[in-house]
Amino acid sequence: MRERNSYTILSNIQRVSSRRVNLIALIAVIVIAGFTAGCSGDKSILDPAGQAARDVTLIWWIMLSFSAVVLIVVTVLWLYAFKPREVTRTAAQERGIARRWIIGGGIVLPVASITALLAFGVPAGQRMLPLGEPAEVIEVIGHQWWFEVRYPNAEGGEVVTANHLVMPVGEPVDFNVSGADVIHGFWIPRLGGKIDMIPGRVNRIRLEADIPAVFGAQCAELCGVGHAHMHLHVESLPREEYDAWLGARQDEQLSALATADADQEEVRDAFRTHCASCHQVAGVSSGNIGPDLSDIGSRATLGAGVMVMEEGAVSQWLKHHQTLKPGNRMPSHGDMDTDTLDALGAWLETLSP
């Protein structure tokens, strides 16, 4: 009777376990199907556009495959443990089995997996170091909560912009990154790994884009209330177009652009009064606290990615910037009337080389 009851209990446990496994499998399928919806896009590591990113993607697939194998093995062993069977092993045999599990699962498996990851990961990391022949240099500085982008070696003088990074296609680019206030993270997922942007320190990473495209980049280090709204628009162009883009942003051309229309002098005066202490516009002001606005009309977004640049967008940003991006450092403009803000926004949108 006792044996029959034990068998009944084990059978019930097995049936319950089987139902749980089926439920877990169903949930896993649903979750995986949902995850696959995020496998594309301008910030997906599964859609690499450079060698460094392909290295990262390969390591990701290796880790995923290994984890899947471990999950399957553990699940099979778990089910096997519930299988009714007669135990005939001695205490010494049990200790031997336990010892093999400890050695195999606790020593051999971790050492083998870590060694395999190092075998793939170390060469991948080496390829992102600025070694070998000199490359194009772009400086990126993280601020709360926007990106300052500098081209120190541009012909005709340094070019400065904000939240919009352009790089040449098919050439290695050395990104010298740092932070202006707190630690930020520089990460272009489709081009390679991330690197910290630390105040007082310059970190370097070498990336290369294989194709002309637009990529999304994101601050990858929690940096305050505006962290989630700290995006960087990245664009790769053929060398001729890249050189033309840089040339159009030389100070002389931007100065001529900003001061060309004599009828806009009243608007420029309003900018000098209310905005010049923080923002630079070539030929008009030299503020360096906030983003350089000399070419703002040509940028794809406003507020480090919170708004699409379109007609009237700058005016809306000036009026509602704390609603659109809570916590940003720009003060309110309650001392300016709506007409002045609209005129100021319309003028800034014309600053496009």
Pairing between β-strand 146-151 and β-strand 159-162 as defined by DSSP bridges: antiparallel
pTM of the entire structure? 0.80
Measured CA to CA in angstroms, residue 284 lies from 177, 281, 290 at distances of: 28, 5, 15
pLDDT attached to residue 264: 82
Indicate whether 313 belongs to any domain: yes
Q: Identify residue 144 by its one-letter amino acid code.
A: Q
Helical segments of 164-248, H only: 239-247
Token couple for 243: 């050189």
Token couple for 44: 């997906």
pLDDT attached to residue 15: 56
Number of residues in the chain = 353
Across the range 104-109, mean pLDDT stands at 82
Token couple for 212: 């002309």
H-helix or E-strand spanning residue 302: strand 301-302
Across the range 258-284, mean pLDDT stands at 86
Indicate whether 203 belongs to any domain: no
Q: Identify residue 189 by its one-letter amino acid code.
A: P
**Average per-residue pLDDT for the chain:** 85
- Interval 278-331: pLDDT, tens: 999 988 888 889 999 999 999 999 999 999 999 999 999 999 999 999 988 888
Indicate whether 53 belongs to any domain: yes
- Interval 32-55: pLDDT, tens: 666 666 666 778 888 899 988 998
Between 186 and 74, name the one with better pLDDT. 186
From the CB of residue 351, how many other CB atoms can be counted at a distance below 10 Å?
A: 20
pLDDT attached to residue 37: 61
The confidence band for 16, taking pLDDT boundaries of 50, 70 and 90, is: low
HSE of 303, CA atoms in CB hemisphere, 13 A: 26
- The CATH number of residue 272's host domain is 2.60.40.420
Indicate whether 156 belongs to any domain: no
Contact 85, 14 (CB under 8 A): no
For 296-329, give one letter per residue: b (16+ CB within 10 A) or e.
bbbbebbbbbbbebeeebbbbbbbebeeebeebe
pLDDT attached to residue 239: 95
Number of domains in the chain: 2
SS3 185: strand
Contact 167, 242 (CB under 8 A): yes
Q: Is 2 exposed, middle or buried (0-12, 13-18, 19+ CB in 10 A)?
A: exposed
Instruction: Give dist(CA 189, CA 309) in Å, integer.
Output: 23
Q: What are phi and psi of 191, to 5 degrees?
A: -115, -20
Residue with tokens 């009714």: 84
Range of the domain at 314: 251-349
Token couple for 323: 């609603």
Token couple for 223: 């940096």
Residue with tokens 């009237």: 312
Q: Of 63, 96, 127, which closes a domain?
A: 127
Residue with tokens 């007669």: 86
pLDDT attached to residue 218: 92
Contact 43, 218 (CB under 8 A): yes
- Of 143-152, 198-207, 230-239, 336-345, the least confident: 336-345
**Residue 205 clears pLDDT 90, i.e. is over it:** yes
Helical segments of the chain, H only: 2-36, 51-81, 91-103, 109-127, 239-247, 251-259, 265-274, 313-324, 338-349
**Residue 9 clears pLDDT 60, i.e. is over it:** no
Cis amide bond preceding 145, omega within 30: yes
pLDDT attached to residue 224: 92
Q: Of 127, 147, 182, which closes a domain?
A: 127
Between 295 and 86, name the one with better pLDDT. 295
The confidence band for 8, taking pLDDT boundaries of 50, 70 and 90, is: low
The confidence band for 14, taking pLDDT boundaries of 50, 70 and 90, is: low
Identify how many contiguous H helices and E strands the chain contains and give both numbers: 9, 14
Indicate whether 220 belongs to any domain: no
Across the range 64-90, mean pLDDT stands at 82
Q: List the one residue out of 31, 211, 246, 232 whose CA is nearest residue 136.
A: 246
Indicate whether 245 belongs to any domain: no
HSE of 63, CA atoms in CB hemisphere, 13 A: 12
Indicate whether 183 belongs to any domain: no
Q: Of 60, 93, 127, which closes a domain?
A: 127
Contact 45, 58 (CB under 8 A): no
